[in-house]
Structure 1
Amino acid sequence: MKNKLLLILAIIIGLAAAAGIYLFLDNTRKTYQVNSDFVSVVVARQRIPAKTQITAQMVEMKDIPAISLNDLAVVDTKEVLGKTTKSEILPGEQVLRERLATERSSSEGLSFQIPQGKRAVSVAVDEVSGVAGLVKVGDRVDVLGTFDLQGATGQEKVSYTSILIQNVDVLSIDQSASPDALTSQDSKKASNSAHTITLSVTPEQAEPLVLCSEKGTIRLALRPAADQNVIYVPSIRGNQLIR
């Protein structure tokens, strides 16, 4: 009986001590909050791998001591949602701005500049097919393709020209994604040499673009800066040039 009473007493003392510690810590936390010594910061709820688009399920807000706040930490989830990570972020780690890729920044690498749902496809151009080297990064172009189709038995091949894709962004010129990169500068240094222009296209647009560049010829048509209209123009056959 005596041992049982001692056990009960020990349990009561233990619970009282635990409650006292909890109240002390809770009171300390509230005191810090009142004194603005705690701040809310965005932290990773789970491991976020590099080159991952951040969703609401991956992050959360957390109160931390102000002294522990990193100067580059994000304090609003709106700043991170939809952004792509440059490097891995561990669970509970503060989300830092330097870990997030800035939108369409050439310093992050080309893969960070490609919009969601698009692909980067490079095509070879010269001074003629590349609009005299006057296309620059950030411009929008149409791509025209010329190709031959075999006619019926005994008939000659027929040449066609068609607008393959319209209103696509120029991501890079040669190996430069800088808006200051102009193909005309390079063409003056190396006449008749081919250059590459990388376009932002959908997977569906990539197929005819690659097929015609491999089996036919392509030519870029530079669009006006403010024109994003897509129009329907039927293909033209070689014999239509003769009236």
Structure 2
Amino acid sequence: MNRRLLTILLIAFVIALGCSFVVYRLVGNRIMAAAAQPRATGVVVAANDIPLGAVLRATDLTTTQMVGPLPKGAILKPEDAVGRGVISNLYQGEPVLDSRLAAPGAGGGLAATIKAGMRACAIKVDEVVGVAGFVTPGMRVDVLISGDPPGSNNTNSGQGTQVRTLLQNIEVLSAGTDIQKDNQGKPQQVQVVNLLVTPEQAELLSLASNETKIQLVLRNPLDTAEANPPGLAMTSLFTGAAAPAPKAKSPRPTVHKASDVYVIEVVNGTKRSEEKFVSGEERQ
């Protein structure tokens, strides 16, 4: 074997070794990148918009692959969600979370959205409050009542109708209409709002709805501070005293300090006399 052939074989071996090294690095990098990439996980999502109170069916759900960390409480199997009530509106493509569903066996409807120890109290409101989108589930409101205090005569009390803030920072569960019959037996729609309250607050609302007119006042959900409005009477609107004036402080009595009196005895020969002088004033 001559030297020229050996040189050709050596060069070919070196080239083959270099190509093998390049291929190894490329394949190795791809394998490492695939291993480092997080795996996709199947998550249950809503197949369509699902309103509050609905009971989930298999047709309401679908699955999708989600890469990265999953939302807390995400449901991975459709059978874990079917038959449970929805306690918060779900929208198409939104992951179904365990915290957005009622407990298994609790069923659907408004009852499934009531927290433990709380009550849902329905009150009648006017069309401005109930129809114009003023209150929707999840909002916070204050409850105002207006009427004549018990035992007062509207013509003799001199105050007229009075308004007071009964409850503050109350959560709205639902808002809709209820069909009731009037005095002639004809059906009519009545605007109804369900508020989430304690049992004690439910008693107050029940009494107020029968004896007074109820008005809801919308508030910022982040504003949880309670105010102390004094309430107003009808006469305050016409007398210019819409807000109670602060009580005037009585002036403190001025105390005059008693003046110091000095007595000087004057001796003139055999005569003696006394002279009195007041401090800061002319001589007496």
Bigger Rg, which one: 2
TM-score, L = length of structure 1: 0.46
TM-score by length of structure 2 reads 0.40
Q: Which has the higher contact order (CA 8 A, sep 6+)?
A: 1
Question: Higher strand fraction: Structure 1 or Structure 2?
Answer: 2
